[in-house]
Amino acid sequence: MNAPMTAPGDVLLRTDGLTRRFGGLVAVSNLSMEVRPGEILGLIGPNGAGKSTTFNLISGFMRPSSGRLEVMGRDCTGLSPVKISRLGLARTFQHGSYMKSMNVRDNILVGTMHTMARASAAERARRVEETADILGLTPHLDTIASALPHGLQRLVSIAIAFATRPRLLCLDEPLTGLNQTEVAAALDVFRKIRQEFGATILLVEHNMKAVMNICDRIVVLHHGQQLATGTPQEIRRNEAVISAYLGTRHEH
Partner 1 sequence: MADLKLRGWAIGAALLIGLGLVLKGAYPISLFNIVAISMLIAVAFRFVMLIGEQSFATSAFVGLGAYGAGVATTLLDWPFAVALVIGPLVVLVVSLAFGMLTLRIKGPYFMIIGFAFSEFVRIMLTKTAVIGGVSGMPGIFPPREMDPWLPAFVAAVVVALMFVLYLAEKSDYGKVLLAIRDNEDIARTVGLDVLFYKVSCFMIASFCAAVAGSLMAFVNNVISPGDFTFLVGAYALAYVKVGGEKSLFGAAGGAVVLVLLGSYALGLGAGEHLFYGGAIILAMLLMPEGLFGMAGKLCQRIGLKRSAAR
In this complex, which beta carbon is closest to partner 1, that of residue 44 or of residue 161? 161
Q: Distance between CA 5 and CA 219 in Å, rounded? A: 16
Member of 18, 31, 134, 161 binding partner 1 (CB under 8 A) = 161
User: Segment 74-133, which members bind partner 1 (CB under 8 A)?
Assistant: 80-82, 85-86, 90-93, 96-102, 106, 109-111, 113-115, 121
Give, in degrees to the nearest 5, the angle at Cα 47 between 45 and 50.
65
User: Segment 57-76, which members bind partner 1 (CB under 8 A)?
Assistant: 59, 61
Number of residues engaging partner 1 in binding (CB under 8 A): 31
User: Segment 162-201, which members bind partner 1 (CB under 8 A)?
Assistant: 163-164
In this complex, which beta carbon is closest to partner 1, that of residue 71 or of residue 220? 71
User: Segment 15-34, which members bind partner 1 (CB under 8 A)?
Assistant: none
Closest CA to 18 of 5, 33, 8: 33
Q: Distance between CA 107 and CA 116 in Å, rounded? A: 15
Q: How far is the CB of 18 from partner 1 (least distance, A)?
A: 19
Instruction: Give the 3-state secondary structure of 11-50.
Output: CCEEEEEEEEEECCEEEEEEECCEECCCCEEEEECCCCCC
Query: How is the chain split among helix, strand and coil, in percent rounded to 5?
Result: 40, 25, 35
- Positions touching partner 1 (CB under 8 A) are 59, 61, 80-82, 85-86, 90-93, 96-102, 106, 109-111, 113-115, 121, 157, 160-161, 163-164
